[in-house]
Amino acid sequence: MTSETIDAAAAGSWTLGDLSVRRVGLGAMRLTGSAAFHLGTPRTREGAIAVLRRAVELGVNHIDTAAFYFSSLRSANELINSALGGPYPDDLVIVTKVGPHREYSGEWGTAARPDQLRGQVEENLRQLGRDHLDVVNLRRMRQDSIAEHFGALAELREAGLVRHLGVSAVEPRHLAEARAIAPVVCVQNQYGLRGPDPAADEMLRLCGEQGLAFVPFYAIAGEAGPQGASTAHDEELLAVARAHDATPAQIRLAWTLNQGPHVLAIPGTGNPDHLAENVAAGALRLTGEEMARLNAVHRGEASRQSGTNGFI
């Protein structure tokens, strides 16, 4: 499908609290290198900045990032600030996350304590050059209860450092726990066309019922996660891709968006061609029959075969 002239508005919009965002956004994790974090090889600074500016030109107004998105040479937040700050576009919504901790060496440290979350928020503010953060997700790091951590973020929201709050990598009980403390505008969990995942399906349903944005990560990458995108595709997916003259990655994104109007996509890339293709996926309209075939794949009722052209 032709992608260069398709705008992010084709996917429609949703609100994060009082902030309207296009349903296809940009994940900043892969701006720093060919793979996330300290994996792969660093990207050029000029190339990453060009991708960010092109994203805005294509109508993207939702960027997902974090202070721990950095490689040996690049910081995603610093790239965003350099490319789009001074001043930022009025409608641009930057969503960050806190909880995990990485040392400057790139190694992962222990999860932040509740009293350390203010420091993580302030580091995001410093790197992005902002006086407040639009949305901050608390990424759960295996703790049984998130009440103390989320309560610390709620205090920062009351202090004006954060506008809206979300949660990530959570179960329904954690969402209920958070909502009892402060308003939640989004849930960011792993989800995609990759086989049966009843727990993820349940969270998707709950968010729809409660009017919250559901923001899946690794929707294209699948099991490959931060290493890169899946290149294993079911024959049903490949057949749908051929019917639309689209890549398997675009079909994965279109299927994800079709799960409900509250679903937002944040595919990451440092490649301008992939960026345009990801945005264009928001204009794909799958038929009822195609959705049924892909839903069967999601339920594990179709065999997986080898394919290519996957990316995030």
| Active-site residue list | 69
* Partners of 190 in the β-ladder: 217
Determine phi and psi for 102, rounding to 5 degrees: -120, 140
Copy the structure tokens of residue 194: 């990759």
CB 305 within 8 A of CB 238: yes
Residue of 296, 263, 199 lying closest to 21 (CA atoms): 263
The per-residue b/e assignment along 223-259, b for 16 or more CB within 10 angstroms, e otherwise, is: ebebebbbebbbebbbebbeebebbbbbbbbbbbbbb
Query: Quick one: which H or E segment has residue 139?
Result: strand 133-139
CB 206 within 8 A of CB 226: no
**Counting every residue, how long is the chain?**
312
Residue 60 in 3-state DSSP? coil
Q: How far apart are CA 219 and CA 241, in angstroms?
A: 16
Q: Is 108 helix (H, G, I), strand (E, B) or coil?
A: strand
DSSP 248-282: HHHHHHHHHHTT-TTB-B--B-S-HHHHHHHHHGG
